[in-house]
Amino acid sequence: MLAGLARDGGLYLPAEWPQFSPAEIAALKGRPYGEVAFRVMQPFVGNAFDETTFRRLIAEAYATFDAPEVAPVKPLGDSGLHLLELFHGPTLAFKDVALQLLGLMLDQTLLRRGQHATIVGATSGDTGSAAIEAVRDRKSIDIFMLYPHGRVSEVQRRQMTTVLAPNVHNLAVSGTFDDCQDLAKACFNDLAFRDRHALTAVNSINFARVMAQIVYYFWAALRLGAPERPVAFAVPTGNFGNVYAGYAAKQMGLPIHHFVIGSNTNDILPRFFETGAMTMSAVVPTYSPSMDIQISSNFERLLFDLYGRDGKALADAMATFRSTGTLEVGGNALGGVRALFDAGRLDDEGTLAAIADCRNRFGETLDPHSAIGYAVAQQHRRDSSVPMVVLATAHPAKFPDAVQKATGERPRLPARLADLLERTERVEGLRNDIAALKELIEDRMGTTPQRARTHS
């Protein structure tokens, strides 16, 4: 959890998946979200937190959600499709589900050890605000969030810059998102700098985020008849983080019939499932910007299984991918994943049509990401007697322009964010220069006497 990425560049995974028998799954039926969360995550946490502490962290994390159920499951008429609403957290996107808990787990661990950590991250919009909300006002953590100046929406920017907590440092970089990411990476690659400031990453490759996302697959399946009845899931994804958590739930014993992966025009995943070859191409901007990704960082975790859990073989394949832009998987392994995953893509026009269709047929307004899940769920349904859960990953008001184009109506922000456009902002400009970024971090982290002591 503290390291994020392993020092050799690999991703962490459990040596073996905890197993839940049908009777153990059945015992979770009708239990509140927090209880399901505790049971599902406890085997990963072990004795890192005692039971009382871990239950308290879970309760605190999900008290910030504005739905008492945390993640409501809603049927779409009698179509057999169900929405799993994952956007009731403080920043209106599913990333809050994992990050609210991760922020508390990090803080608790650092306080106990008497340590301080510095998060440095780059964002094209959604991740930044979710990470900032997760750690605001925590004494053990400072967060430096880099975003491309003028290239995030006003709502996205304000969700970051109106957090005035002293440990939050918003940096508007004169450059692109890739420039921001390169700056953040350069900080981590300077090992002396990384160690001096105890740099940590909370991006989607942090296994603690995967762990917290496994919970809602159990939660939704229990609502719809598991363990007696299997359930299918449709997941709009870019980094493969969300759907990988579902794959983990299946490895743990949850009866999942199959997964449908939804992509926008940036379709590296559907192309992989069609051809067995993962090939990079240029990123195209779409109405679903949180999926405008060409390298799905969590996909490496699935590939580990496709390479027979042989870390050396996978590391070689990833090195080839980075140098040639292509990685191929053989027939047997590909057949195995195709049995479990379907993948579909939807362009911007299709996305607007899907938003309008869901609104007309079922009276539900979807954001563009969720609309992609809704469309591919219908394209790839294998068995109409199996309930299909569509993961709704953002509140429609987070992407008001696309939703207005599709429906003619501008979705309104929930009451607690209604004054977002009037709140005071705090942000600093930063030129696209690694020396300037390091100097700024040194300056901020060195000036507080208490922190200087921690690091001396």
Ligand X SMILES: *Cc1c(COP(=O)(O)O)cnc(C)c1O
The residues that bridge with 278 in the sheet, in sequence order, are 327
239 binds ligand X (CB under 6 A): yes
- Compute how many other C-beta atoms are within 10 angstroms of the C-beta atom of residue 196: 15
Cis-peptide, bond into residue 230, ω within 30° of zero = no
Tokens of 158: 């304000």
106 binds ligand X (CB under 6 A): no
**Which one among 148, 238, 270, 400 touches ligand X, defined by CB under 6 A?**
238
269 binds ligand X (CB under 6 A): no
172 binds ligand X (CB under 6 A): no
289 binds ligand X (CB under 6 A): no
Q: Considering only residues 119 through 138, tell me which ones interact with ligand X, judged by CB under 6 A.
A: 126
Which region holds residue 190: left if phi is over 0, alpha if psi is between -120 and 50, else beta?
beta
204 binds ligand X (CB under 6 A): yes
Burial label for 411, CB within 10 Å (0-12, 13-18, 19+), is middle
Cβ distance to ligand X smaller for residue 4 or 227: 4
CA distances from 101 to 59, 106, 160, 371 (A): 9, 9, 19, 27
Cβ distance to ligand X smaller for residue 54 or 244: 244
CB 389 within 8 A of CB 84: yes
CA 300 centroid distance within chain = 15
242 binds ligand X (CB under 6 A): yes
Least separation, in Å, of the C-beta of 101 and ligand X?
16
Cβ distance to ligand X smaller for residue 103 or 227: 103
Q: What is the DSSP string of 360-411?
A: HHHS-PPPHHHHHHHHHHHHT---TTS-EEEEE-B-GGGSHHHHHHHHSSPP
Q: Which stretch binds ligand X (CB under 6 A): 34-42, 99-107, 230-238, 448-456?
A: 230-238
Tokens of 250: 């299946």
Distance CA 437, CA 145 (A): 11
What number of CA atoms fall less than 13 Å from residue 336's CA on the CB side?
12
**Which one among 241, 246, 350, 400 touches ligand X, defined by CB under 6 A?**
241
291 binds ligand X (CB under 6 A): yes
Cβ distance to ligand X smaller for residue 110 or 293: 293
Examine the residue annotation and report whether 312 is marked as an active-site residue of this protein: no
Give how many residues touch ligand X by CB under 6 A. Answer: 16
Least separation, in Å, of the C-beta of 367 and ligand X?
6
Instruction: List, in order, residues 6 or more apart from 130 with CB less than 8 Å away.
Output: 89, 90, 91, 93, 95, 96, 99
Please report which residue ranges of 206-276 form alpha helices under DSSP H: 207-223, 241-251, 268-275
Per the residue annotation, which of 74, 95, 139, 438 is the catalytic one?
95
Least separation, in Å, of the C-beta of 84 and ligand X?
13
**Which one among 393, 397, 402, 407 touches ligand X, defined by CB under 6 A?**
393
Least separation, in Å, of the C-beta of 228 and ligand X?
29
- Residue number of the CB closest to ligand X reads 241
Instruction: List, in order, residues 6 or more apart from 227 with CB less than 8 Å away.
Output: 22, 25, 26, 221, 253, 254, 255
Cβ distance to ligand X smaller for residue 126 or 267: 126
Least separation, in Å, of the C-beta of 11 and ligand X?
14
Least separation, in Å, of the C-beta of 107 and ligand X?
23
Binding site for ligand X (CB under 6 A): 93, 95, 126, 204, 236-242, 290-291, 369, 393-394
Kindly list the catalytic residues: 95
